[in-house]
Amino acid sequence: MPVDTTADSGPLLHAEKVTMRFGGLVANRDVDFTIPRGSIVSLIGPNGAGKTTFFNQLTGMLTPTSGDIVFDGASLVGRSPHEIVELGIGRTFQNIRLFGAMTVLANVMVGRHTRMKASWWASLLKLPSVRVEEEATRQRARELLQMVGLKRRYEEDWARNLPYGDQRRLELARALASDPKLLLLDEPTAGMNPGETQQMTGLIKRLRDELDLTVLLIEHDMKVVMGISERITVLDYGEKLAEGTPEEIRANPAVIEAYLGKQATSA
């Protein structure tokens, strides 16, 4: 039964029987997955469970061996990453991957690339329309930097010179610059101390409300996952192990077993 991912109340993204094989290795097997509009959903699982592989199929870095992923009415299968950004999916990376030798502002402005129209010859001639668009982009980039809480004085600094926590914020601003409907966050609090982690989860929630976003995150920190998610999907050995609200997941014996081993459940 086809799922309508365009309706206002329905899911924004629906993945059906997604399988990803690398030679003999099956990284994802028949994963069904749904992200309701406006929700914050987490994807968790032990190391090597296939979370990042699944993520990469959503962003077009990988193409599923079989199965289909429908986002906002369009299939993502076979599309290249930049087309998927244009459709409205923005992402951040597990290990921060900024454009290190570009300014903070330029990083965010690159993020807006798909929403800009200036062609190469118009840019070359610096047509008035290009100047207007450039200025608007700069304004928008500044708004986003402010929104994620980066100080104005960092604007002209090199991205790689920012403190770690601010690099995470900048990556977030860059992802937001493409006006995504769905924001994919790959371990947004990795390497952060408890204070920074708390700020980041607060920020994610606030952004979701202010920008009308839907958020999917991969996260290892259970405090973060339980505190922020409305729904959680657990992957183990490439297959979906469980799905539900944080409470349901916390009580699910299969999940506890996957995380702590058999003794934990019997103890």
Partner 1 sequence: MDLPMRRALFTGLLGGLAGVHVGLVGMIDSFQGRDTIADLITLGSMLPLLILLLVGWRAASPVKSAQLIPTGARTFILGAAAGATAGLILAALAALITAVNLRWILVNATPGLAEILQFGQGLVVGSLILIVGGALLGLAGASLHVVPPAIARSLAIAFVVSLAVALLEPFLGAVLRNLGLDAVEEVFFAGGGLTLVGAIVVFGLTAAGIYAWTTRGEGARERVAAMPADRRRNAKLIWYGVLFLLLLALPQLVGQRLSEVVGTVGLYVLLGLGLNIVVGFAGLLDLGYVAFYAVGAYTTAVLTSPSSPVFAPELPFWGALPFVIIAAALIGLMVGTPVLRLRGDYLAIVTLGFGEIARTIFLSAWAQPAVGGAQGILSIPPPLPFERDPQAIYYPILLFCIIAAVAATSLASSRVGRAWNAMREDESVAEATGVNTTVYKLLAFMLGAAFGCLSGALFAAKIGVVFPQSFDILVSINALALIILGGMGNIAGVVVGAIVLVGLPELLREFAEYRLLIYGAVLVAMMLLRPEGLLPSRQRQAELHERESDEDQYAETSGEETGRPVVTI
Integer Cα distance of 90 and 83 in angstroms: 11
Phi, psi (5° rounding) for residue 123?
-65, -40
How far is the C-alpha of 81 from the C-alpha of 116, rounded, in Å? Answer: 17
Q: Which residue has the tokens 């922020």?
A: 228
Smallest separation, CB 36 to partner 1 (Å): 24
Position 79 contacts partner 1 (CB under 8 A): no
- Given the complex with partner 1, which of 66 and 129 has the nearer CB atom? 129
Provide, rounded to whole angstroms, the least separation between the CB of residue 132 and partner 1.
Answer: 13
State how far the Cα of 221 lies from the Cα of 187, in Å rounded to an integer.
Answer: 9
Percent of the chain as helix, strand, coil, to the nearest 5 = 45, 25, 35
Choose among 39, 45, 23, 133: nearest CA to 31: 45
How many CB atoms sit inside 10 A of residue 194's CB? 10
Q: Which of 4, 75, 97, 202 binds partner 1 (CB under 8 A)?
A: 97
Site string for partner 1, 232-251 (x = CB under 8 A): ------------------x-
Q: Binding mask 9-38 vs partner 1 (x if CB under 8 A, - otherwise)? A: ------------------------------
**E strand spans, 197-249:** 214-218, 231-236, 239-244
106 binds partner 1 per the rule CB under 8 A: yes
Q: Pick from 172, 133, 169: which is nearest to 154 by CA?
A: 169
CB of 195 to partner 1, least distance (A): 15
Q: Among 220, 230, 239, 257, indicate the residue that binds partner 1 (CB under 8 A).
A: 220
Nearer to partner 1, 13 or 34 (CB): 13
Q: Residues in the site for partner 1, rule: CB under 8 A?
A: 46-48, 51-52, 59-61, 80-82, 85-86, 91, 93-97, 99-102, 106, 109-111, 113-114, 116, 118, 120, 123-126, 130, 133-134, 137, 158, 160-161, 163-164, 174-175, 178, 187, 190-191, 220-223, 250, 255-256, 259-260
